[in-house]
Amino acid sequence: MRMDGVGKVFAGGVTALSGMNLRVATGEFVSLLGPSGCGKSTALRLIAGLMQPTTGKVSWQGKHDSGDLGVVFQEPTLMPWATVEKNVWLPLRLRGESLPDARPRIAQALEMVGLGSFANAYPRELSGGMKMRVSIARALVTQPRLILMDEPFAALDEITRNKMNDDLLALRDRLGCTVIFVTHSVFESVYLSDRIVVMAPRPGRVAEELTVPAPRRDEEFRTSADYAAQCRAVSAALSRATGDA
C-alpha cells in the first residue's frame, strides 16, 4: 500500500492533510502518531476508501477487494440488536455467506480474541474491553491482509489496554497481517510498532518516521531501559512536530 502526495481539503476549506507520502510493506506494523487534528484519522479513512483524496492517490500492490481490509474504530461499533456471533458474521454475511457456513470461522475468530463462549451474548452484556475484542474478531473474520485500527484502545483503562496490546501482537504474529494503527499514545506506539509515523497538525502532514527495533515485545521490553529510551526519542520527535507547527 502506498500513498503519494495525498492531500485532503474539506468542504469548509480546512486542509486536513497535505502531501502525505507513506509506504507500508506487507506484514509491517505501522503506527500513525500525533496530536488530535493532525489528520491521522483522515489518513486512515482515505486508506479505507471512505473518502477520496483531493490530491494525490492511494494505490495498492496486487489486487485489492473488500475482504482484504479489516477495520476497528475507536468505539466498538457493534450492532446492539445482534448477538456477538451475528456481529462477527457481518462481513461474511454481506458477501452472501450463510450463518451455518460461516460459523466455524466466526467461532475461530472469537476463539482468537478469547471470547469463544460469548457467541450468544448481546453487546450490552459485555464490558468495554470485551466489546472491543468482538470488534477485533469481526475485523479478523475475513482473514484480511491489512487491518486498520483507529485509536481502538483509547477508551479502555490502562490494565485492559496493556492486555489488549499483548493480545494484538500475538494475533499479528499468528496471522502475519499488516496493521496500520492510529494512536495518540507514545508508549502504545513504541510498544506495538515496527515503524512510527509522527504526524504534525495544521495542515496535517508527516513530520518524521522512526523505526523501532525490538527483539521481543513483552512485559520485559515494556519495563526495559531500551523501551524508555525509544519512548523518549519518539516523544522528542512528537514535540518537534507540534512545536514547529
Partner 1 sequence: MTEALDTEETARLRRARAERIGRWLMPALTIVAALVIWDRIVVWNQIPHYILPGPGLVAQTLVKDWAILGPATWVTLKIAMMALSVAVIGGVGLAVIFSLSRWAEMSFYPFAVVLQVTPVVAIAPLIFIYVENRTVGLLLCAWIVAFFPILSNTSLGLRSVDRNLADLYHIYGASRWQRLIHLQLPSALPYFLGGLRIAGGLSLIGAVVAEYVAGTAGIGTGLAFRILEAGYRLNIPRMFAALALIAALGVLIFAVLSLISHLALRHWHESALKRES
Closest distance between partner 1 and the C-beta of residue 68, in Å? 11
Contact 48, 71 (CB under 8 A): yes
Say whether residue 65 binds partner 1 (CB under 8 A): yes
Closest distance between partner 1 and the C-beta of residue 126, in Å? 12
C-beta of 181 vs 187, nearer to partner 1: 181
Say whether residue 82 binds partner 1 (CB under 8 A): yes
Name beta bridge partners: 70: 147
C-beta of 135 vs 193, nearer to partner 1: 135
Cell representation of residue 169: 501482537
> Omega of the bond prior to 203 within 30 degrees of 0, cis?
yes
Name which of 149, 142, 178, 143 is nearest 164 in CA terms: 149
Closest distance between partner 1 and the C-beta of residue 136, in Å? 13
Rounded Cα–Cα distance for residues 235 and 209 (Å): 12
How far, CA to CA in Å, does 74 sit from each of 48, 174, 175, 208, 210?
15, 23, 22, 24, 24
- Label the pairing between strands 178-183 and 29-33: parallel
Tell me the site size for partner 1, rule CB under 8 A.
23
Judged by CB under 8 A, the residue of 66, 117, 143, 239 near partner 1 is: 66
Judged by CB under 8 A, the residue of 95, 114, 117, 232 near partner 1 is: 95
Say whether residue 75 binds partner 1 (CB under 8 A): yes
Say whether residue 71 binds partner 1 (CB under 8 A): yes
- Which residues of this chain interact with partner 1, rule CB under 8 A? 45, 48-50, 65-66, 69, 71, 73, 75, 77, 79-82, 90-91, 93-95, 122-124
